[in-house]
C-alpha cells in the first residue's frame, strides 16, 4: 500500500461511505450512558475510520493488548462529556478496543459516537498517527 503524503491524499480520494445515527444529541447521550455507564464519551461529526494496515506480528501485538487496528478521526466534536474538547474541535482517537453497531467506537478511555455521514479507509499506522 502506498502511503499518503499529504492531508488531501489522506482525507480525500476514495473511501467507503458510512452512516452513523441522525438522532438528537440527547437520545445518543442516553444510549451511550446506558451502554457504557461511567465511561467518558464524545459525540462527533465528519468522521473517518482508518483501518490500519499492519503486519501479522503488529496485529498480534495489537490484539494481545486488547485493541483493534482501527483509529477514528473526526473534524467536528459535537459534545464531550469530560469537556476535554470544545464544540467544533477535531479529535483523533487511539486504537479501538471495540466497535459496535457501526457507530459506537470505544477506546480504553472514551466512547466516540460517530454521528451522521462518515467514511472508512485504509492507511498505515505511521500515517494514521502522524496527524495531530
CA distance 56 to 16: 24
Taking 70 as the pLDDT cut, the residues of the chain under it are 1-14, 131-132
- pTM value is 0.88
Strand segments, DSSP code E, in the chain are 16-19, 41-53, 70-80, 91-92, 98-100, 104-106, 111-114, 117-124
pLDDT of 128 = 77
pLDDT of 10 = 53
Closest of 131, 121, 118 to residue 45, by C-alpha: 118
Q: For the chain, which residues make up each domain, given as ranges?
A: 17-130
Structural element, H or E, at residue 40: none
pLDDT of 58 = 93
Count the neighbouring beta carbons within 10 Å of the beta carbon of residue 112: 26
pLDDT of 113 = 98
Amino acid at each position: 500500500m502506498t502511503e499518503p503524503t499529504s492531508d488531501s491524499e489522506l482525507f480525500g480520494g476514495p473511501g467507503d461511505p458510512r452512516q452513523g445515527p441522525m438522532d438528537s444529541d440527547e437520545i445518543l447521550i442516553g444510549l451511550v450512558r446506558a451502554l457504557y455507564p461511567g465511561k467518558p464519551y464524545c459525540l462527533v461529526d465528519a468522521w473517518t475510520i482508518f483501518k490500519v494496515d499492519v503486519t501479522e506480528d503488529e496485529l498480534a501485538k495489537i490484539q494481545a493488548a486488547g485493541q483493534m487496528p482501527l483509529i477514528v478521526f473526526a473534524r467536528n466534536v459535537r459534545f464531550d462529556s469530560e469537556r476535554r474538547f470544545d464544540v467544533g474541535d477535531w479529535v483523533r482517537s487511539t486504537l479501538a478496543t471495540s466497535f459496535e453497531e457501526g457507530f459506537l467506537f470505544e477506546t480504553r478511555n472514551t466512547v466516540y459516537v460517530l454521528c451522521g455521514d462518515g467514511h472508512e479507509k485504509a492507511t498505515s499506522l505511521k500515517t494514521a498517527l502522524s496527524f495531530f
